């Protein structure tokens, strides 16, 4: 099925913000965590602290694309295809971590990493953090999509519709009650569920609803008044999302970001506004194909650079923080591109051939 180019633009934007966040401000291997006295890094921390909500955007897009590309298949075929899509790059990242641990550059969590490769580390309940804790997302994504795939196979249409609406509302409702609108601490467990899984169920569910709306409204000819409203809405929503992710602001309820991104995703899918048309370019498809490899490999590259280089050259980091950030980002980009071309693409192709 044809790629939605402007949706790829949103994914490229989101992964860029996540990499910048984890590089500078958030996480055990971030520069801010290891060099808290550098004022430039403090600025990045204060500015980007809400950028972790970029993950909500990925969940919403995943739900939308699930409906947009949905095909009838068995649950076995669905699971196998998701493993083929997600696991090879993760396994490669774990192998790199094992090698790095031999030189004591990274502290390995081997048994946790087995669950990470199997996509079971955040399967409803958080069982393991893994060497690269950001991979909670891949497990939560897999388990969330599996839930909605099972729902899509329910024969009773009324039950399906009810669950598509009920589950995201309940998931976000639980987060509202337990964390007062904050979606932080994705590894934290509450009884039988954890925060990351609830975020996945909520975001993917809302994304599915956007997908249903798209199928209902796509192709309709709109009046000039509606097009003006869509243009204004796209500008306002995109401005709000950019402000939320990359400008300092007080912490507000994260559900506002989810609603704004869901609305923008819907408007972009219709391609009736000026921004959604301007971003409807092949460039974003070409860049977007790397986003998964970037996500999986970026924390591995950052941890290796921290353990092998920055901790032994603390003065350089303190006096040249922007140069340090640039080196990390360039390394991540280079490593991500190589991972895509030499691991993700060939392994996915080979495994697809083997299961035919």
How do residues 129-164 score in pLDDT, each as one tens digit? 999 999 999 999 999 999 999 999 999 999 999 999
Distances in Å between the alpha carbon of 17 and those of 14, 53, 112, 118, 301? 5, 10, 27, 27, 16
pLDDT (tens digit per residue) in 167-185? 999 999 999 999 988 898 8
Ramachandran angles phi, psi of 123, nearest 5°: -90, 75
Number of DSSP helices (H) and strands (E) in the chain, helices first = 17, 4
pLDDT for the residue numbered 248: 83
Closest by CA to 291, choosing from 14, 3, 92, 2, is 14
In tens, the pLDDT along 78-126 reads 999 999 999 999 999 999 999 999 999 999 999 999 999 999 999 999 9
Strand, helix or coil for residue 125: strand
Q: What is the pLDDT of residues 194-229, one digit of tens each?
A: 999 999 999 999 999 999 999 999 878 778 888 899
Q: Is 316 exposed, middle or buried (0-12, 13-18, 19+ CB in 10 A)?
A: middle
pLDDT class for 1, splitting at 50, 70, 90? low
CA 141, 144, 150, 152 dihedral sign is negative
Token couple for 93: 């990242």
How many other β-carbons are positioned within 10 Å of the β-carbon of residue 117? 21
Are the C-beta atoms of residues 274 and 234 closer than 8 Å to each other?
yes
Residue 244: C-alpha distances to residues 145, 172, 253 (Å): 26, 19, 11
Cβ neighbors of 28 (< 8 A, separation 6 or more) are: 133
Is the pLDDT assigned to residue 49 strictly greater than 90?
Answer: no
> What's the predicted TM-score (pTM) here?
0.96
Q: What angle do CA 273, 278, 281 make, to 5 degrees?
A: 125
Q: What is the dihedral sign for C-alpha 154, 159, 161, 166?
A: negative
| pLDDT at position 28 over 90 | no
């Amino acid at each position: 099925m044809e790629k939605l180019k402007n949706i790829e633009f949103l994914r490229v934007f989101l992964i860029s913000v996540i990499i910048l966040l984890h590089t500078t401000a958030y996480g055990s291997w971030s520069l801010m965590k290891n060099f808290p006295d550098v004022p430039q890094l403090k600025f990045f921390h204060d500015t980007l602290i809400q950028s972790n909500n970029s993950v909500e955007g990925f969940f919403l897009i995943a739900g939308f694309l699930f409906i947009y590309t949905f095909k009838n298949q068995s649950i076995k075929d669905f699971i196998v295809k998701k493993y083929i899509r997600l696991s090879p790059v993760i396994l490669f990242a774990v192998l790199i971590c094992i090698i790095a641990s031999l030189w004591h550059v990274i502290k390995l969590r081997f048994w946790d990493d087995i669950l990470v490769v199997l996509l079971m580390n955040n399967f409803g309940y958080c069982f393991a953090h893994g060497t690269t804790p950001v991979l909670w997302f891949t497990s939560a994504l897999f388990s969330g999509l599996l839930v909605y795939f099972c729902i899509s196979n329910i024969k009773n249409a009324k039950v399906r519709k009810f669950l598509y609406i009920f589950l995201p509302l309940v998931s976000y409702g639980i987060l509202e009650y337990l964390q007062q609108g904050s979606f932080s601490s994705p590894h934290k467990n509450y009884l039988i569920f954890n925060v990351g899984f609830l975020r996945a169920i909520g975001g993917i569910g809302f994304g599915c609803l956007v997908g249903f709306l798209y199928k209902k409204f796509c192709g309709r000819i709109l009046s000039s008044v509606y097009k003006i409203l869509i243009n204004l809405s796209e500008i306002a929503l995109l401005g709000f999302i950019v402000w939320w992710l990359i400008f300092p602001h007080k912490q507000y309820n994260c559900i506002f970001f989810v609603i704004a991104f869901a609305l923008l995703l819907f408007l972009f899918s219709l391609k009736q506004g000026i921004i959604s048309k301007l971003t409807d370019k092949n460039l974003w498809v070409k860049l977007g194909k790397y986003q998964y490899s970037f996500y999986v490999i970026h924390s591995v590259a950052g941890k290796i650079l921290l353990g092998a280089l920055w901790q032994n050259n603390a003065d350089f980091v303190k006096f040249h923080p922007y140069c340090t950030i640039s080196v990390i980002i360039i390394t991540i980009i280079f490593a991500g591109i190589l991972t895509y071309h030499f691991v993700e693409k060939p392994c996915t192709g080979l495994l697809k051939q083997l299961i035919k």
